[in-house]
Amino acid sequence: MSNATEDPRVRVAIEHYLLDLENTQPRNTRRSSLSKQAEWKQRGQASWPVIPKVWPAPVPQGQQLPGDLVDEGKLLLFHEGGRGVAFPKERKEDTIFVDGGGSEYESGSDIESYESTLRLQSNTVRGYVSAIQKLYDEQKSRGVNPAARPQGVALKALKRSILATTWARKRKEYTDRGVGTLTDVYAQEQIPDHTNVAWSERMEIACALKTQVDFLFGNHMLLRSGNRLSIELADCFPLDLPNEGLKVPGYTTKALVVVMNCGKTNQHGRMEYGSALRHRDPRPCLVGALAFWFFWRWQVERTEKFPVFQRSEDWYDTKVLRRSAKEPQGSTERRESRSPRSAMRPEWPRRRAPTLPEWMKDRQVVALRRSARRLHATPARTDRIVQIRRAGRWNNGDQMTGCYLTSLPFEFMRALADFDTEWSGSYFVPRDDVRPPDVLLVQVWPQLDNWKEAHSSPLSDFGVEQNMAAGAFLEVMEWLQEVLLQDAVFLRESYPDHPLFQDSVFACPEFAAFSRKVRSTCRESTRGRSFHRDTKGNAGGG
């Protein structure tokens, strides 16, 4: 078969970039597309004439192309009756069965006109059409397909037919109309149930604590599975927010920020941010969960050593959600190969599945609907849509957002931290107002002070590589020292027998005195909360 592109240099360039495009696709997307394209090619070779050796050649109007060359007519035949399509396991709520002998409906509804011999799933059709259209685009780039792109009226009618028939079937079967709506969500008040399962685990503690962080990343930052699994230590940094929270001397609100420049929805290195504040309640707090996870990894478990920050290559590849203690820098490809549905679920051991809360077992955990619902609990406003778009990184398609607009979605962050979205001064975490004494801080990651000193002075004896990311992550660790001790006051009361709390730092008398001071401060803050709410207008105006 000769190619229309005769210049070998052009042909080599086309093949190079088509291969590059294939290799840069997300793993699951590439695997799904290749399997569907292989099925199309097999069916094309069996059902249509072989592509002539001299090609392209004139094709009479209305005649289908030979072999596996894609055109709209062949694509429609490919789906007709579901023949030749290897469908996934069908579920009652997704699969449509339509009798080809006549209408199943007694009324003269227009829905009858959509019924045919189709035995398809709507998502399946979209997946096959998308994969085969990609194959067409490759054929077009190679100059071997003279047909127009298969996206005409007939193909659109196929998609509408399937959607309309599915809708009619669900009405006839009285399918639960609440499934997949805003009512099919978990409430913020249920997240502590997830925390309880994580902290009640005694056999696979590392898996439980890691899963807690994984779940809260998705809830607080609206991160896909691929984004969460690829986060590395060098992607995390703290950010001071001088305009957020109470304006009192010595108190500065901090946010945890994660940098992302790759993922399924960002394949071009665009800089994106995820951010979260400390939660009012230590149980559903992402920052606290991250502190406990790092404390378990590097101080209690003692299988994985504390990171070395001498050179970038020593720690840049270390994952926040590691594969295992022996592979802290291991690739996450094995875990990314899970299906999208299972990838959105926390990674509990199978034997522990029966102990999960009912809302975790019966409903797919999709962070967007759950987190966005919290912000929409108040009257709708256009800027709330903007907040959700910014939090989920769906507004990065223009130059202004990508290059200049770097502000964080503060209303969304306050909502997820259980504070008033309208009032920046409402944010105040009482336990954060009590700084742990140095005698406790030095017992949490004792190696941290040495690395901070090494990176703070270019003339240090450590010979470290001066690195902005290293300095930023060390600031995160310094902040997490305080967060760990402050949140431990409350979690230790609920889970006193947890192996993490058997560390010597929690047994010393200084921690007992610190705990009493934190609890006292929180009680006083609770009593004064009504006063602060009454003076909200005056404080906000100042």
Mean pLDDT for 96-110 is 39
- Percentage of the chain beyond pLDDT 70 is 71
Per-residue pLDDT for 167 more than 90?
A: no
274 secondary structure, DSSP code: E
Do residues 146 and 59 touch, judged by C-beta distance below 8 A? yes
Give per-residue pLDDT as tens, 421-437: 888 888 889 999 899 99
Do residues 449 and 442 touch, judged by C-beta distance below 8 A? yes
Tokens linked to 465: 């590589």
Q: Does residue 467 lie within any of the structural domains?
A: yes
In the prediction, which pLDDT does 112 show?
Answer: 40
Examine the domain organization and report whether 39 and 135 are in the same domain.
yes
Examine the domain organization and report whether 286 and 170 are in the same domain.
no
In the prediction, which pLDDT does 373 show?
Answer: 46
pLDDT band with cut points at 50, 70 and 90 for residue 490: very high
- Domain interval for residue 146: 8-50+65-81+118-177
Question: For the whole prediction, is pTM greater than 0.95?
Answer: no
Examine the domain organization and report whether 376 and 515 are in the same domain.
yes
Domain closes at, from 140, 158, 177: 177
Q: Does residue 145 lie within any of the structural domains?
A: yes
Ramachandran region of residue 67, left (φ > 0), alpha (ψ -120 to 50) or beta?
left
On average, the pLDDT of the chain sits at 76
Ramachandran region of residue 245, left (φ > 0), alpha (ψ -120 to 50) or beta?
left
Q: Does residue 213 lie within any of the structural domains?
A: yes
Q: In this predicted model, which residue has the larger pLDDT, 300 or 467? A: 300
Examine the domain organization and report whether 206 and 352 are in the same domain.
yes
- Quote the CA–CA distance of 113 and 109 in Å, as a whole number: 8
Q: How many domains does the chain have?
A: 2
Examine the domain organization and report whether 307 and 268 are in the same domain.
yes
Give per-residue pLDDT as tens, 268-315: 556 788 899 999 999 999 999 999 999 999 999 988 999 999 899 999
Examine the domain organization and report whether 135 and 231 are in the same domain.
no
Q: In this predicted model, which residue has the larger pLDDT, 26 or 147? A: 147
Could you tell me the CA-to-CA distances from 83 to 39, 380, 461 in Å, in that order?
A: 11, 47, 71
In the prediction, which pLDDT does 342 show?
Answer: 41
In the prediction, which pLDDT does 12 show?
Answer: 86
Examine the domain organization and report whether 354 and 459 are in the same domain.
yes
Q: In this predicted model, which residue has the larger pLDDT, 99 or 411? A: 411
Domain closes at, from 108, 142, 177: 177
